[in-house]
Structure 1
């Protein structure tokens, strides 16, 4: 039974969050140094940046300039709070620091190629559905030659939500009973998949971005699994197919 399988990219197939955390740590430590006379802690900076970052994503989606802008807005917040005279030079430093995250080389999750090879060899149709800006996401796709698995079946959306996934499913004429969404984000991968009535596999991350953590109030119509490693995906899907065939018999 051929399946249609949509994969998320960031923090499902390739690492992403850990690079943002590294840059945020540098930002928080720099801010704590600049505001040391006011007793500002790095954790307080992280908390405010997270608050501003998430609020912006709700409005702008996954726009690259938003991340460095969250550094600037955090800086301005504490400058106003403590009466610190802000400077264009300091803001420029923070802007460049925020943008630097997009220049870091990403690395794949363990068993990425083996997992995609196994699913493709089994005859399943693989799709890539990712949030972000085309230039940045295409750079990752090309780095790992992911076109060999997904071909033209690649969807990049700034806003990754229920409506976006539903549009992809409808436009592709997918059989929902044989369609899967695989990703790490409860908000942008799992809830939209369950809402669309397709199967969902949640890939649990060791440390998850707060934006991705939401409650699930949708009743699954198909399979809903939680896994830890990519290598667990093929046998999980094969087991589901086997159970489905047995029920038909």
Structure 2
């Protein structure tokens, strides 16, 4: 029996990667004179991955990686006005309204009356706290965990802190790498809800078995009822 449900935030409850994608399109346009789009994307991804250990996940690290990439592809000649544009891109992302995915508010409200709900989201603390507050969902969760990484050790700590038996816990999220594989590895359950866009760093092969896949969070209540 499942009595505790973990929800991912970005691209599970609200749109996130689409905002990064739109900003990256603006980045390509800004640097079109210095690099072709494919090379620029490759170099930006390399910078993002290298900077994760320094900046962690989130918009601020993304903006700093864009600035670093812009400096590199222009051999240090990127104009100050372009750097200012990149900073403004980041501010626009941080100020962007939180847009819930279809059915999320109704499903979270319904499940909160029958299950213990824990929001387990990864990223910058200030940004995630802001999005959670603006989402209108905060009061529906019994606990909120904002973590710097989602790996087996993190999930073990979260469940231990809240006294949750892994065998009675299910994690719901869009990322196979962050929400599915590490959860299964500690003996808990997982439900994959794919999002239309996946950041290259989060791509991973799904397991052959021991997890469920649904097309929409709206499919979650009947799935849990039949578990």
Cα RMSD after superposing both structures: 2.0
- 2:97 is aligned with 1:100: no
The equivalent residue for 1:190 is 180
- 2:218 is aligned with 1:231: yes
Q: Residue 108 of structure 1 aligns to a residue in which SS?
A: coil
Q: Which residue of the other structure, out of 153, 169, 172, is the alignment partner of 2:162?
A: 172
Q: Is the 8 A contact 2:5 2:117 kept in 1?
A: yes
The equivalent residue for 1:44 is 39
Q: Is the 8 A contact 2:59 2:90 kept in 1?
A: no
CA distance in 1, matches of 2:21, 2:171: 26
- Unpaired runs of 5+ residues, structure 2, are none
Q: CA deviation at 1:207?
A: 1.7
Q: Residue 145 of structure 2 aligns to a residue in which SS?
A: strand
Higher relative contact order (CA 8 A, sep 6+): 2
The TM-score, its normalising length taken from structure 2, stands at 0.91
The within-5 A match list for 1:135-174 is 135-151=126-142, 153-174=143-164
- Structure in which a larger fraction of residues adopt helix: 1
The equivalent residue for 1:5 is 5
The equivalent residue for 2:66 is 71
CA distance in 2, matches of 1:124, 1:23: 37
- Deviations along 1:70-111, one digit per CA (max 9) or x if unpaired, are 11121122123xxx6234443233233234311111200000
Q: Which runs of 4+ in 1 moved over 6 A?
A: none
The TM-score, its normalising length taken from structure 1, stands at 0.83
Q: Determine which structure has more spread, i.e. the larger CA radius of gyration.
A: 1
Q: Residue 65 of structure 1 aligns to a residue in which SS?
A: helix
- Unpaired runs of 5+ residues, structure 1, are 241-249
Q: Which residue of the other structure, out of 125, 128, 139, is the alignment partner of 2:119?
A: 128
